[in-house]
């Protein structure tokens, strides 16, 4: 049966999914298939929570030791959830994962000094109407610099890809910059991808012309996704990222392989 639904909201991450692989978008946004929780996802969720809470502290207390303690506190809260119940084979495996996570968090301080950072918002839930389309997402962090510029930062706990492969992540951040402009009337001057595994920092200057172009891309993507829904046509787009896809075993592109 051809689906009769249409797009109600679109998040920056799902927009990036569709650009990467329409079939991946279908698995996640249309079919809403569950994905197994991995140790890497658990690390990312816990690290994001710890970094958010780090900025609840006065600047002089934002130390590595404080961040480690916040990570342990956050994991203590999360580890009781069902999705994490069977994540580790034993206590030693969990402890080794924790030690690796602490090393990643130590890398954070090689990229920026949290004493000098003044976040306007962290984990900001955004729902914005852009003249007929609705975009929703959660922004990791937005800062205001001493000279009044707005800077958006996205934390990544995975390994940084070569910069040319970071373009999909930058596309998502430009959408967030577009949402900030729509909400506040101010154009962020820069978006940043902060990879703790490295560590590596990629930055991209932003201006109104770029955001105007991004809005046009998002509108075109919205229409393309709705046509795909109407036609029930989501062609897979095989590539290097397939090796990390949770749905490879059911993807049409891999049906006749292995």
Which residue do the tokens 């130390």 mark? 63
Q: Mean of the pLDDT values across residues 93-104?
A: 96
Q: Evaluate if residue 192 carries a pLDDT over 90.
A: yes
Q: Evaluate if residue 4 carries a pLDDT over 70.
A: no
Q: What is the mean pLDDT of the chain?
A: 92
Between residues 35 and 164, which one has the greater pLDDT?
Answer: 35
Residue 16: how many other CB atoms lie within 10 Å: 20
Its domain, for residue 190, covers 8-30+118-239
pTM as predicted: 0.89
Lowest-confidence segment of 74-78, 175-179, 204-208, 235-239 by average pLDDT: 235-239
Nearest alpha-carbon partner for 21 in 250, 226, 240, 234: 234
Q: Give the per-residue SS3 of 111-150.
A: HCCHHHCCEEEEEEEEEEECCCCEEEEEEEEEEECCCCCE
Q: Evaluate if residue 258 carries a pLDDT over 90.
A: no
Structure confidence at residue 2 (pLDDT): 47
Shared domain check, 223 and 152: yes
Q: What are residue 135's DSSP bridge partners?
A: 10, 128
What CATH number has the domain bearing residue 219?
Answer: 3.90.320.10
Shared domain check, 76 and 141: no
**Residue ending a domain, choose from 70, 90, 115:** 115
| Token pair listed for 180 | 């900030």
At a CB cut-off of 8 Å and minimum separation 6, what does 17 contact?
A: 24, 25, 28, 29
Percent of the chain scored above 90 by pLDDT? 78
Specify the number of domains making up the chain. 2
Q: Is residue 141 assigned to a domain?
A: yes
- What are the pLDDT digits (tens) for 37-75? 899 999 999 999 999 999 999 999 999 999 999 999 999
Q: Is residue 1 assigned to a domain?
A: no
Shared domain check, 197 and 142: yes
Asked if the bond preceding 56 is cis, omega within 30° of 0, the reply is no
Q: Mean of the pLDDT values across residues 220-235?
A: 95
Q: Is residue 245 assigned to a domain?
A: no
Shared domain check, 58 and 129: no
Calculate ∠ Cα 199-206-22, nearest 5°.
75
Helix, strand, or coil here: 216? helix
């Amino acid at each position: 049966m051809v689906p009769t639904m249409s797009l109600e909201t679109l998040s920056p991450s799902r927009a990036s999914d569709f650009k990467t692989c329409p079939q991946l978008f279908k698995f996640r946004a249309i079919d809403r298939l569950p994905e197994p929780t991995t140790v890497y996802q658990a690390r990312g969720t816990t690290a994001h929570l710890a970094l958010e809470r780090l900025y609840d502290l006065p600047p002089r207390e934002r130390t590595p030791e404080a961040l480690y303690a916040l990570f342990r506190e956050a994991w203590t809260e999360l580890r009781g959830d069902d999705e994490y119940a069977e994540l580790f084979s034993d206590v030693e495996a969990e402890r080794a994962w924790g030690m690796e996570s602490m090393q990643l968090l130590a890398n954070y301080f090689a990229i920026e000094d949290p004493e000098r950072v003044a976040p306007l918002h962290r984990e900001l839930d955004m729902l914005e109407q852009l003249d007929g389309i609705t975009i929703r997402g959660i922004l990791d962090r937005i800062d205001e610099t001493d000279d009044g510029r707005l800077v958006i930062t996205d934390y990544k706990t995975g390994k940084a890809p070569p910069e040319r492969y970071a373009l999909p992540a930058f596309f998502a951040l430009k959408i967030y910059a577009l949402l900030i402009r729509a909400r506040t009337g101010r154009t962020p001057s820069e978006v940043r991808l902060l990879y703790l595994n490295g560590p590596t920092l990629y930055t991209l200057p932003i201006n109104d012309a770029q955001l105007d172009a991004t809005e046009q891309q998002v509108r075109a993507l919205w229409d393309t996704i709705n046509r795909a829904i109407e036609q029930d046509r989501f062609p897979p787009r095989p590539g290097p990222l397939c090796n990390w896809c949770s749905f490879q075993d059911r993807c049409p592109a891999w049906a006749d392989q292995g």
